[in-house]
Amino acid sequence: MTLYPLQFQPLFNYRLWGGEKLKTELGKDYSDNNIGESWEISDVDANETKVLEGDLKGFSLKQLIKQFKGEFLGQSVYDTFGDAFPLLIKFIDANTPLSVQVHPNNDVAKTRHNSFGKNEMWFVMQAEKNAELIIGFEEKITPSQLETHLKNNTILNVLHKEQVTKGDAFYIPTGRIHAIGGGVMLAEIQQTSNITYRVYDYNRVDKTTGQKRDLHIEQAKEVLDFEVYKTYKTNYTKTPNSSNKLIHSPYFKSNFLKVEGVLEKDYSKLDSFVIYMCVDGDVELTWNDKIYSLKKGETLLLPASIKNISLSSTSSELLEVYL
């Protein structure tokens, strides 16, 4: 068997804050209510996505890595991560706000959870009028003041809120307090981790359990970055048919790629797999004389062994992701 451009069967996850946009806006096929997350490419234990079509249909990421190693991941990526796929790729629909939360870094996550840390980024695909995100603190507080605000239900008063529109992008390093607000649909790129420390959850009860969700205040205090920063949003250019630098971190690199007409891509100098997330429009990818169609809300992975492809679209927007 040989490698080819791969699409995976998404996993749809119930969330008490989930809505219907993954179905109505992105055309996802599911019947459950309150689906908040579509896990597009996942190597999280018990939540592993499988190849959708072709000779490798049904293969998980671990099976692909075991069989193809550096040919699939890129040799440098394989040398670093071995059989573990380093990224988790999602689309998220927040009908109501997510919990206010924070993620641990690699060292803490490894020690406590035998997991990667969770550095992540958001790319806003759609936002209702006045929809906002919470990201970072608006004013400097201490851990004891944090506890007082939580006890008094005033924590939202000291958090930085940012109204968002389509195309806004944010990097959320580990330690940064954050929450997606209601009315926001976005693409999320993160390390492979499912570790979240909830700080505040609006005293909500989950209708599926009849219980409030657990909070993790003590763990959160140990990893929170209490600094206040001048800006949280990432500025970037949108030059057509060019890989515009979006967010480059030690954990992943992302570019904004607007395709108009035909674009030839050459990855011969890149020792990594490449993931395309289509965040608007639709595009055709040609490799070895075969056409792969990608529309808004779909994701495709190019194994590292594929170096030359062609993209064609009247107008589409992609996130280009690699290590």
| The two three-digit tokens of residue 210, written as one number | 């009849």
User: Is there a single domain that holds both residue 46 and residue 146?
Assistant: yes
Residue finishing a domain among 223, 255, 271: 223
- Tell whether pTM > 0.85: yes
pLDDT for res 260? 98
Residues identified as active-site: 198
pLDDT for res 192? 98
pLDDT for res 130? 97
User: Is there a single domain that holds both residue 256 and residue 127?
Assistant: no
User: Is there a single domain that holds both residue 87 and residue 202?
Assistant: yes
Domains in the chain, number: 2
User: Is there a single domain that holds both residue 195 and residue 260?
Assistant: no
Element (H, E) at 292: strand 290-295
pLDDT for res 193? 96
At 12 the three-state DSSP class reads strand
User: Is there a single domain that holds both residue 199 and residue 278?
Assistant: no
| The two three-digit tokens of residue 202, written as one number | 């609006």
Those residues of the chain that have pLDDT short of 70 are none
What does DSSP assign to residue 309?
E
pLDDT for res 8? 98
Q: How many CB atoms lie within 10 A of CB 288?
A: 10
Binding site members: 103, 120, 178
Binding site members for Zn(2+): 103, 120, 178
pLDDT tens across 55-72, in order? Answer: 999 999 999 999 999 999
Which residues form the domain of 315? 243-322
pLDDT for res 239? 98
- Tokens 């959708």, residue located: 52
pLDDT for res 87? 98
